[in-house]
Amino acid sequence: MWAYELQEFGIDGLRRTEQPDPVPGLGEVVVKLHASSLNFRDLMVVEGTYNPRMKLPAIPFSDGAGEVVSVGGGVTKWQAGDRVMPIFAQLWMDGDPNAEIRRSSLGAGRPWDGTLREYAVFNENGLVAIPTFLDYGQAATLPCAALTAWHALIKSGGIKPGDTVVTLGTGGVSIFALQFARMAGARVIATSSSDQKLARLKELGADETINYRESEDWDKAVLELTSGRGADHVVEVGGADTLPRSINATRFGGHIAMIGALTGAASFNPTSVFMKAVRVQGIYVGNRRMFEEMVQAIEVNGSKPMIDTVFGFDDVAAALNHMKQGSHFGKIVIDYSKGGLQ
């Protein structure tokens, strides 16, 4: 089978290799992967900023979708032909994560090799069924970004109809958060650095939009839009540079889902967290139970992921460079049937 290995850090350090086809052991399933999608983490892994001590070579990317082609002894959940997605942290079935579970996250070093390959073997418990109406490319966007947004708003946030949600930017997590917030009947105030993207956010259902580049104090704009009260939830993907404004934009007793670190290393004064009794909750992707619940909700609501661009399997470097450039709106997908490799 073919697999992309990261042999040295950097986009140019990705090489396509030939490897032996995997054979399923007891309780294991072999999946032929048909697509993967990129997360910001994958770019960091490839560039060596996620874990500079990560041992190489390793197969990157956490997200994928494919079909079961063979099963090992004792497998009861799956059979050949089933359409599946691997869960992000292979050992995380339910409850809170721990260090061992976190280490089982795909695509950030061996032994938990990622999805940028033709076949992969998973424990039967490490897979979730694809929503019936989604194709492989669409399904490949769900394991990390969608589940993180679901966890943030539905599980951690306990979002209710009429709540106000702020989303930051137009990356994968933020657009799923917009979609789930609308599904839950919430009002969404969405930010972006681009007016063109703001118009697209409106089309997707954002109630109000703010250009955070033109209005640097976007937190004040959120307060104005909420009659001084502040938002019930902020989906915080920005990190150090955006967190102080996110706290300011949140109502007393509100909820900040702390997800990402796209920006800088500004120092942070925690006073306003307790003075406003804000709940800042760290979110680590999500477990299998959450993933299954999210799939059910997607099935019922018929919502489709927002895909920015689909690249062929030969164009992985171009896909990573596209993410790095930051002009995307939603998810970047790699379709393994494109590129003359099958």
- Per CB under 6 A, residues contacting ligand NAP are 39-41, 144-145, 148, 168-174, 191-194, 197, 212, 237-238, 241-242, 259-263, 283-285, 323, 326
Nearer to ligand NAP, 105 or 123 (CB): 105
**Minimum distance, C-beta of residue 239 to ligand NAP, in the bound complex (Å):** 6
Nearer to ligand NAP, 78 or 92 (CB): 92
Task: State the sign of the Cα–Cα–Cα–Cα dihedral 253, 257, 262, 266.
Answer: positive
| Terminal Cα distance for the chain, rounded | 10
**Minimum distance, C-beta of residue 193 to ligand NAP, in the bound complex (Å):** 3
Distance, CA of 274 to CA of 210 (rounded, Å): 27
**Minimum distance, C-beta of residue 126 to ligand NAP, in the bound complex (Å):** 17
Residue nearest to ligand NAP (CB): 171
Q: Yes or no: say if 172 and 143 are a contact pair by the CB < 8 Å rule.
A: no
**Minimum distance, C-beta of residue 264 to ligand NAP, in the bound complex (Å):** 8
**Minimum distance, C-beta of residue 178 to ligand NAP, in the bound complex (Å):** 11
Nearer to ligand NAP, 32 or 182 (CB): 182
Compute how many other C-beta atoms are within 10 angstroms of the C-beta atom of residue 26.
Answer: 10
Distance, CA of 201 to CA of 176 (rounded, Å): 11
What is the b/e burial string over 61-71, where b = at least 16 CB atoms within 10 angstroms of the residue's CB? bbbbbbbbbbb
Among 229, 19, 245, which Cα is nearest to 117's?
19
Nearer to ligand NAP, 84 or 89 (CB): 89
Distance, CA of 140 to CA of 117 (rounded, Å): 13
**Minimum distance, C-beta of residue 190 to ligand NAP, in the bound complex (Å):** 9
Nearer to ligand NAP, 22 or 171 (CB): 171
Among 147, 133, 241, 116, which Cα is nearest to 191's?
241
Nearer to ligand NAP, 68 or 87 (CB): 87
